[in-house]
Structure 1
């Protein structure tokens, strides 16, 4: 789904969002409440400049509009794979973006993520996944690593990984598998404005992903291991 159609389905004509290259930023109104909109489009590769621009948009909201809810719209192919960005320390820039979102959360801003197109790798981790809750459209594409790349990294034969992916969501790409693992809270079908309204009314204050993953059968051990570590 293109971002203009998404915003129209979420807010009708009550939005003031601009597209600056691959950056989306602006505001929108829902039931008389103004939301800050920050996101990406065009399968954006998150490089140094785009990471800083998103961080700036979040910080501007924290500074000028205390408590305003922030909706992160996610469409990214992950971090930009260029030598320049690596030499400049893209990991630090993306970490800075994540820290700005965490600052907003600690200052009382509800932060929601919505994957409306594509979400891959580190670009997803420091945007949608770091939100209080991340939802997705059913047609979205989500993955961290393709099976061929996973085979090269893990030294496990790709055919074996394909077999594992059939029964274990941890090995498999796809938005349904991220719901099963708890990374995505829910899929938004039908009335998107109603889904957003419900998400704003039920924004979690604690990280519930491991618990959701256990209850949905996608990550059976994460919640228990986290509990045991906390109690140790």
Structure 2
């Protein structure tokens, strides 16, 4: 689903159904949802997240924290991952993306409900520093989510591609796909049917603590993460 169709499904149609502006691959604006303002920020066109896009998204989040205390924030996610360019590496893309993640974390700590919605594609670092840091990250059923393709994973882990293919059939940790991220707890739920109702429920039910490991254990996608986390906390 493209972002304009998504916006119409969430916020209605008409001459001015929403206040979202597209500036290249960058989406930002304020909408009124159920009579209350909502900050929207994100990307489109499978955007590669470089220094510029990371800082522009962080700016919207920080401006919301400064100027609109408590206002919810919706992250619309469509990214192919981090920008692989020499310019961005020299400018410190790792620091810019970390800054975006810290801005989102600050908003959460200041009482803003922050929701991530993967409406098209979410890959690699562009997803890790946005949707996965939100209070909750949801997705549309047709979304594509992965952190690393299996051939790349094979090169990094030195495991045979055939071995990884076999593992991916039974273990969500090794497999791409939105259903596997739901099983692991990285994606809380899929939005189907009435998308406005799904957003309404997501805002009302966004968890105040990180429950992804518990969700992963309950869903059978990450069986040991929650217990390992608890053992570390008990030993601290």
TM-score for both structures, normalised by structure 1: 0.99
Shift of 1:194: 0.4
Determine whether 1:5 maps to 2:5.
yes
Q: Does 1:76 align with 2:79?
A: yes
- What is the CA–CA distance in structure 1 between the aligned matches of 2:195 and 2:20, rounded to whole Å? 17
Match of 1:108 in 2: 111
- Report the Cα offset of residue 89 of structure 1: 1.2
Backbone CA RMSD of aligned residues: 0.6
Which runs of 5 or more structure 1 residues have no equivalent in the other structure? none
Does the alignment pair 1:171 with 2:179?
Answer: no
TM-score, normalization by structure 2: 0.97
Residue matched to 1:134:
137
Once residues 83 and 31 of structure 2 are traced to their aligned partners in structure 1, the CA distance between those partners, rounded to angstroms, is 29
Structure 1 stretches of 4+ with a deviation exceeding 4 A read: none
Query: Displacement of 1:66 after TM fit?
Result: 0.8
1:118 aligns with 2:107: no
The total of aligned residue pairs comes to 232
The farther-off stretch of 202-211 and 7-16 is: 7-16
* Counterpart for residue 190 of structure 2: 187
Structure 1 residues 16-55: aligned runs within 5 Å: 16-55=19-58
d(CA) in 1 for partners of 2:203 and 2:70?
13
Structure 2 gaps, min length 5: none
Cα offset, 1:63, TM superposition: 1.2
Residue 229 (structure 2) pairs with residue 226 (structure 1): yes
